[in-house]
Amino acid sequence: MKAQLQPSTREDSARSTLIRRLVLYVLISASMVWIGSHVVLARHSGGSPERLMDIPTGGSAEYIDMAQHGTMAGPAPFRYRFLVPLLVSVLPVPAELGFRIVTFVCLGLTYVVALLTAEALGISLRGSLIALLSMFCARTHAFNYWNPLLADGWGLLALFLMLWALIRGRDAVFTAASVLGTLGRESVMFLTPAIFTRKQWKRAVLPIVLTAAAYVLPRLLLRTPDQDIVSFYAKYHPLPKFAALQFWKSVAVSWSYLWLVLPVGMIFTPRQWRPVIFRSLAWVALGTCIALVMAEDTERMVSYLTPFVFIATGFLVDGASSRLLDATLVLLAPAHLLVMLATVPFPIHEHGLLTASLRLELLVASCIVVAAILISPLTARLRKSPHRP
């Protein structure tokens, strides 16, 4: 009798552990969304989120028009990203509030999926939380709270879901996230080809075909002669911006010292996860480069790397096992967020509280400190790597 009760007891224990873990993840995520919405958004809007309606950045005005007056009210390419404005339009609230609700819910779910992804990869809770803090405080991620009247939160959730699905082998979840994500923000499809492998190529057919259809059909069905996206990009000349110092400064500031953490953390990726992680990173990195060429919002374009910055940070924290590194990452993350909030203009202080040069000074100092700390664990890892089974 006792032996018969053991499997049921183990199942109950596992279920209870899962519920407690999910509750913890939800509480952590809700806390971060609360901080982002009450600190970052309040800073940008001067305490009145309605002021965001008067700040024309990143296409928010076009999305608001689509939510209020229908999909065809938006010009190309915004009208092709119709899903988020459509969701906002069915909410019984003003469009501006609706976008905030959708964005913040997506960000909260993103943090939960990120923690589940780290758990699936074997990253410790300590490593996961440090990685989540680093990601949350990065300038490129803070933009989701800086201007929530966009579809960026939707796209970020889709990317994390797709990566989690790849790791757990959930093809149906991957396909749904890829298709729905593409209908909200086409950059999601950069990760879709990562499901393809030579040995299991058949599993890649459906998600790739459906995602391609989600990208092409809106551009065929919603196109108007006076708003041809092809002619729009034919007149666009992106190359001059690569000669501008401001472009490279924006790239550097977006992830700051995490640009160093990303490649070093990937070196600590366990062998069994390298094929899927490296393959996914390669596709998203290619998409990021394409986006940097075709789009103007530099700091938003590099946000596509967010899932991999998160994973790399977690792997690095666990692999290095350095209290000094942990403390440095925990201190640098909020320092960058606070400096960002203090050095950007907003309705009350038009020139910011502190000089913008402080951002570059902190960037340089952070990279020097992180690089110095990484030398020891990186050297040890490279020496040990050839002898690992």
**What does the domain layout of the chain look like in residue ranges?**
27-224+241-387
Q: Which of 164, 147, 65, 71 is nearest to 111 (CA)?
A: 164
pLDDT of residue 233: 64
d(Cα 165, Cα 284) in Å, to the nearest integer? Answer: 16
C-alpha distances in Å from residue 288, one per residue of 18, 117, 165, 190: 35, 22, 21, 8
pLDDT of residue 42: 72
Q: Which of 210, 227, 78, 212 is nearest to 151 (CA)?
A: 78
Instruction: Walk along the chain (389 residues) in steps of 10 and give the mean pLDDT of each run.
Output: 58 81 95 91 60 60 91 87 95 93 97 97 96 95 90 96 96 97 95 93 95 94 72 68 83 93 95 96 95 85 96 96 94 91 57 59 90 88 62
Q: Residue with structure tokens 């690089």?
A: 371
pLDDT of residue 231: 65
Helices (H), ranges, 229-346: 229-234, 245-255, 258-267, 274-294, 298-301, 306-320, 323-343
d(Cα 346, Cα 282) in Å, to the nearest integer? Answer: 37
Residue 85 amino acid letter: P
pLDDT of residue 101: 95
pLDDT of residue 205: 95
The 10 Å Cβ neighbour count of residue 167 is: 17
What does pTM read for this prediction?
0.90
Buried b (16+ CB within 10 A) or exposed e, 333-359: beebbebbbbbbebeeeeebeeeeeeb
pLDDT of residue 88: 96
pLDDT of residue 277: 97
pLDDT of residue 250: 86
d(Cα 138, Cα 258) in Å, to the nearest integer? Answer: 8
